[in-house]
């Protein structure tokens, strides 16, 4: 669950990129500690199901200056995710994380 929240926070940073957003999201997820297959899976789903504004909102929620996401508690990560006012973003991030984790 912690990795899912971390992934959701990090992949949102891809919304502002001019390159293929899936690549940017994937790279951010890997930087957050996800293994490449999980990052590929989540990036595909997030970019496909969220529009640019939703990805930006997710990126804003993921703005963690001077914080080490790897050392945040699951409660902290979920708090940041729930702070997003768009329930669709929360739903897509949660489903993508769980779906990709189950798919292995």
Return the higher-pLDDT residue of 32 and 92: 92
Could you tell me the two tokens for 96?
A: 């993508």
**Residue-range domain boundaries for the chain:** 2-103
CA-CA distance, 54 to 42, in Å (whole number)? Answer: 15
Query: Tokens at residue 24, please?
Result: 């940017």
Q: What is the pLDDT of residues 84-97, one digit of tens each?
A: 888 998 899 889 98
Is residue 49 scored above 90 in pLDDT? yes
% of the chain surpassing 90 pLDDT: 13
Q: Could you tell me the pTM of the whole model?
A: 0.67
């Amino acid at each position: 669950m912690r990795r899912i929240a971390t992934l959701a926070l990090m992949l949102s940073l891809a919304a502002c990129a001019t390159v293929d957003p899936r690549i940017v999201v994937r790279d951010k997820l890997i930087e957050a500690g996800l293994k490449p297959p999980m990052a590929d899976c989540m990036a595909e789903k997030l970019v496909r199901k969220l529009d640019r504004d939703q990805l930006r909102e997710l990126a804003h929620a993921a703005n963690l200056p001077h914080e080490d996401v790897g050392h945040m508690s699951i409660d902290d990560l979920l708090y940041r995710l729930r702070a997003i006012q768009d329930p669709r973003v929360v739903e897509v991030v949660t489903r993508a994380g769980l779906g990709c984790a189950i798919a292995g």
